[in-house]
Structure 1
Amino acid sequence: NAELEKVKAAIQENLQQADHSDDDLIEMYAQKELLEKATQEAEQEHYTWRGKIAETENEITALRRRKDNAEIIENELKDERNNLKLELNALKERLSVEFNVDIQELLDSGIPAEENEAELREKTEKMKRQLDDFGAINPMAVEAYNEMNERYEFIQSQKRDLAEAKASLLATIQEIDDTAREKFMSAFTMVRENFIKVFRSLFNEEDSCDLVLTDAQNPLESDIDIIARPKGKRPLSINQLSGGEKTLTATAILFSLYLLKPAPFCIFDEVDAPLDDTNIDKFNNIIRTFSKDSQFIIVSHNKRTIASTDVIYGVTMVEQGISRVVPVDLRELAD
């Protein structure tokens, strides 16, 4: 029992020592955290001061640079002032020698300047350039000027005459164009009306035709489209018509021009060759209609055309190389 009590006492003592050790360990951990926090704050403050020191060094460097620039500008201003003094002395000397003017007297007189320095400098430079442009004095300048002026006046007179002639010519051209346009449009309108009338007499009243200007705004330079559409056909161009239809359309065009200013006689050379009997009769009828005002000479091999004429002139070869003309007046036979 005694030993057991000793053991218990030893255990109790060890437990108490362990508790004390835990407390010490906790306290040491707390101290460690405090030390780490203090270390971090010290490091942060260290870096803060390093940044401030760097900023201060940069400011010092900038101030030194500004000081150096200021010293350079100061030296330049000193040099400029010395140069201005030299120029001023030279100007004073020049005014005194060339113009007999004492600049100091003008400055002491207190007369206010009407213009500022910049304007005066600009005017001075302008006058210098003008003097340089004048060059050396030419004693023959007045005579040369008078000669050139006389030549200039002559050229100007010629120019005015040419301008007036040009204006007159343009007006004449415009008048001619207007007259030509008016006469052309009048003739075109009449020919168009005649073409429609003659075309329908050769074809049918239901057939359509027309003459159209491709450029109505510029009729004198415009092409003319011939539109011919016999009943039952819708050709896109006159080339799509048959040979007989083309011939009758061309005949209508010829007679529409003929009606504009009838000629004393007309000659047709085998115009009726492509026509069939029905169209031959139409062709002969229109020839008969217009024969009241003009004589028509027709070269033909068509019997219907020959039979519709008043006088026939037959040409035959009686011998080799010898032709004979045989006239027949059908009007006498009819009587």
Structure 2
Amino acid sequence: RERGAAVAGAVRSAGETALERIAVSLTAAAEERDAAAAARAERQSGLDGVRSRVNALATELTQLTDVMHRDEVARAQSQLRIEQLESRITEDHGVAADDLVAEYGPHLPVPVSAADLAEHATSIERGEPSAEPAPAAYDRAVQQRRAALAEKDLAMLGRVNPLALEEFAAMEERYKFLATQLEDIKATRRDLLTVVSEVDDKILEVFTAAYADVAREFELVFVTLFPGGEGRLVLTEPDDMLTSGVDVEARPPGKKIKRLSLLSGGEKSLTAVAMLVAIFRARPSPFYVLDEVEAALDDVNLRRLIGLLDELRQSSQLIIVTHQKPTMEVADALYGVSMAGDGITAVVSQRMRDRAAEHAS
């Protein structure tokens, strides 16, 4: 038993020693574990920082790449624009770009514009004080505005017409032809106006004389047809004989009215006959044709008219269409149209003077 107890004590002592050593080992392992965890955390933090820096640098690289690409595109566009401008300068002006810059570059003063010179000349003509315009220093903004205005004016002019000279020559020839025609027309117009003036003067002379003669004869004839009455011709516009009309005033005996519209049918007819006879007497004609002018007259007025017709036939021949017997009695010859029973018309003639001579014999 003692031996067993000793062995158990030895085992116990060895177990305690082992436990102590295990505890020490566990403590050391825990410390190593904590140190490793701290180191790992520290390394992880450093790795995260490096990754963030890498991402930031990658983003910056992307931005720089985009900027560089845009710059390259802009540079290419600018180079293309320069080449286009150089080509346009050569085509439009026939001058190289370097020569154009040397002669008109921004290092040179800007010449005075034609508008400024014209304004200065206008001021001098008006007597206003005006300093002579001088060349100014180059100002890009000002020159850009002038260029834009010039381009606008050029655009309003339109495209250059290569056939403009030929068209101008043709239009100039056409203009000279039309100008010559216009001068001919003006000369013709002057000649026509002269002729019209002469014709107007002649018309005025002839009408004035004819009116005076007809007015005089009308008063005499009217008194003959209307004993005790009064008739005359009146001009509507005495101051302008060329446009004046002629009114007939008739006052039969025993009446105060003068307007033709207020006369009876017979009086109107007799007044018209008086007007015709007055014209016949003022301007005689070799013959006259009268168609039933006495149809509306009574026997007394018919006798008076026959007396006037008898006076007229002393110098002219009268052809009268009538159904009045008194008129037929004073005729030299009668012509009648009759229709027999067979429906055939026949012309019958009879010389009244020869008939009268036969009766007298």
Q: Per the alignment, do residues 317 and 179 of structure 1 end up closer, same or farther by CA in structure 2, a change over 3 Å counting?
A: closer
1:261-301 alpha-carbon deviations (Å, 9 max, x no partner) = 32223333333332223222211211222221122233444
1:189 counterpart = 2:212: yes
Give the structure 2 partner of residue 268 of structure 1: 290
Return closer, same or farther for 1:215/1:334 CA change in 2, 3 Å cut-off: farther
Q: Indicate conservation of the 8 Å contact 1:311/1:331, yes or no.
A: no
Equivalent runs, 1:299-310 vs 2, <5 Å: 299-307=321-329, 309-310=330-331
Match of 1:294 among 316, 325, 329: 316
Q: Which moved more, 1:208-217 or 1:321-330?
A: 321-330
Count of residues in Structure 1 that have an aligned counterpart in Structure 2: 231
Q: Does residue 229 of the first structure (1) align with residue 247 of the second (2)?
A: no
In structure 2, give the amino acid aligned to 1:328.
M
**Structure 2 match to 1:114:** 132
Structure 2 unaligned residues grouped into runs of 5+: 1-99, 112-130, 137-141
| 1:147–1:255 CA distance, 2 compared to 1 (3 A) | same
Residues 130-161 of structure 1, C-alpha deviation per residue, up to 9 Å, x if partnerless? 87777777666555544443333333223222
Mapped contact 2:250–2:258 kept (Cα < 8 A):
no
Change (3 A) 1:153 1:328: closer
Query: 1:310, 1:331 within 8 Å by CA — same for their partners in 2?
Result: no
Give the TM-score of the pair, scaled to structure 2. Answer: 0.51
Judged with a 3 Å threshold, the aligned counterparts in structure 2 of structure 1 residues 226 and 218 are, in CA distance, closer, same or farther, namely same
Question: CA shift at 1:253, angstroms?
Answer: 1.0
User: Is 1:176 paired with 2:199?
Assistant: yes
What CA distance in whole angstroms lies between the structure 1 residues aligned with 2:165 and 2:337? 95
Deviates more, 1:251-260 or 1:152-161: 152-161
Write out aligned runs for 1:208-227 (5 A).
208-227=230-249
Give me the identity figure in percent.
33
Match of residue 154 from structure 1: 177
| Counterpart code for 1:177 | D
Query: In the aligned structure 2, how far is the partner of 1:303 from the partner of 1:131?
Result: 97
Deviation at 1:229, TM superposition (A): 0.8
Q: Which residue of 2 aligns with 1:202?
A: 225
Whose relative contact order is higher, 1 or 2, with alpha carbons under 8 Å and at least 6 apart? Answer: 1
User: Equivalents in 2 of 1:131, 1:98: separation in Å?
Assistant: 23
What is the Cα deviation at residue 193 of structure 1?
1.5
Q: Does 1:165 align with 2:188?
A: yes
Query: Counterpart of 1:284?
Result: 306
Query: For residues 237 and 186 of structure 1, what CA distance do their matches in structure 2 show?
Result: 25
Unaligned runs of 5+ in 1: 1-94, 107-112
Contact 1:207 1:230 in 2 (8 A): yes
Task: Report how far residue 209 of structure 1 moved.
Answer: 1.3
